[in-house]
Structure 1
Amino acid sequence: MSLSMPRPLTSQMLVASIDVNDVTHFLLELDALKRVNRRSYVTHTTRRENSAEHSWHLAMACWSIAELFELDVNHEKLLKMALVHDLGEIDAGDTFLFASSRNAAHIEERAGIARLQAERGNGITNLAEIWEEQETGSSKETQLLRVVDRLLPFLLNLNTEGKTWIESDVTRSQVAAALAFIEHSFPVIHDWLTENIEYATHQGWLIDS
């Protein structure tokens, strides 16, 4: 019995209008996110995580939590927002949660997203729209994304003996304030965070002020 050859993924008409050099250029632009280092350390290592790793972790964590808690969210929308969440950092770099410049970080990030959106090899026509939704929106998906985005660096700090907190002289009150919104959007996670802020303070990882 002979096996039939698989059909091409795209029509010849569509292929004729696309320059694969543009496609691969855009893919390399996305690869640049791997070069953006964050403040958090990867557990069981001495290196910091990069923003591409964080984006993957964020997407997986959002997916798992949404399934486990049976949340009424659009999973496709949620995962897309998680994947584009940090793309603006390719141009703007990462801004530490407790940095004084954080309020202005979105300006450079938004410009970076506009640049990526305009790339000829970008096939995601609503890239900027998805990024804007996760940045300024109020949907259930956006709310969950923000919760998990704050949960993950806290979790890494907790499991690296507060390395980033200690290096940056972070205080208990700073962390509590940054996580306060979670009390209303996801109380059970906020309770866990509050308990572990106490633990981290007692361990000397957070300055008790």
Structure 2
Amino acid sequence: MEQVVAFVLELDRLKAVTRKVKPLGQDRYENSAEHSWHLAMLALAMAPYAEPGTDMDRVIRMLLVHDIGEIETGDTLFFIEAGRHERKAAEEQAVARILGLLPHGQGEALLDLWREFEAGQSREARFAQALDRAAPVLLNLANNGQSWRENEVRYEQVVGRVGPPIAAGCPALWNHIAGRLDAARDAGWFGMG
């Protein structure tokens, strides 16, 4: 019980990790805990669009653990290339430490899920990654490109970085988003960076 409580209290720190996108109708930025919860709900709603045979329980568990390393590393804008490998290595160390708070066996299974998500090879990981890439896009489309404009993110960056994983993991979602990104570009919702 002590180990589980220590783990859960450590996870509470994820609420303090600020992201770059604002929740709809809010002046504040979302936090990584909200993002993870939102993705789990998105997975439930998008389940009919997943590849047949996708284990949705596994997808949701991946989405709940995929960002816990940010407790120590913080959130970095997805479009920043410099230092990506170093950040991922630091995040994996953080995830291993945090999951290591759990009783023997529990943490290892969750760390395997985190690694599966990062590798993006299984049908569940592809679907989870598609949702992770799509959620900020959907918020930006609903917020007139708020974080794209604030962070000088270009249309080409968004389409190039998020398009392939969304199309690979949930083609119907990419079909929904692609035309809206073109309209957002025409509306001037992207940065000039």
Q: Normalising to structure 2: TM-score of the pair?
A: 0.89
Cα separation, 2, equivalents of 1:52 and 1:41: 13
Q: Does residue 1:150 correspond to 2:126, yes or no?
A: no
Cα separation, 2, equivalents of 1:150 and 1:88: 17
Letter in 2 for 1:92: T
**What is residue 4 of structure 1 aligned with on the other side?**
none
State which of 157, 182, 191 in structure 2 corresponds to 1:174.
Answer: 157
| Counterpart secondary structure, 1:47 | coil
**What is residue 203 of structure 1 aligned with on the other side?**
187
Deviates more, 1:183-192 or 1:82-91: 183-192
Q: Does residue 1:85 correspond to 2:66, yes or no?
A: yes
State which of 142, 164, 178 in structure 2 corresponds to 1:194.
Answer: 178
State which of 78, 84, 93 in structure 2 corresponds to 1:97.
Answer: 78
Tell me, yes or no, if the aligned pair for 1:116 and 1:122 is still in contact at 8 Å. Answer: no
Structure 2 stretches lacking a partner, 5+ long? none
Tell me, yes or no, if the aligned pair for 1:92 and 1:109 is still in contact at 8 Å. Answer: yes
Cα separation, 2, equivalents of 1:155 and 1:44: 14
**What is residue 117 of structure 2 aligned with on the other side?**
134
Structure number having the greater helix percentage:
2
Report the identity percentage. Answer: 35
In the TM superposition, structure 1's runs of 4+ consecutive aligned residues that sit over 6 Å from their partners are none
Structure 1 stretches lacking a partner, 5+ long? 1-19
Q: CA deviation at 1:117?
A: 2.4
- How many residues align? The count is 190
Cα separation, 2, equivalents of 1:40 and 1:147: 17
**What is residue 161 of structure 1 aligned with on the other side?**
144
Q: Normalising to structure 1: TM-score of the pair?
A: 0.83
Cα separation, 2, equivalents of 1:183 and 1:120: 35
| Counterpart secondary structure, 1:153 | helix
Tell me, yes or no, if the aligned pair for 1:25 and 1:121 is still in contact at 8 Å. Answer: no
**What is residue 112 of structure 1 aligned with on the other side?**
94
**What is residue 75 of structure 1 aligned with on the other side?**
56
**What is residue 18 of structure 2 aligned with on the other side?**
37
| Counterpart secondary structure, 1:39 | coil
Q: CA deviation at 1:121?
A: 5.5
Cα separation, 1, equivalents of 2:168 and 2:92: 28
Q: CA deviation at 1:180?
A: 2.8
Cα separation, 2, equivalents of 1:32 and 1:171: 31
Cα separation, 2, equivalents of 1:68 and 1:183: 12
Larger radius of gyration: 1
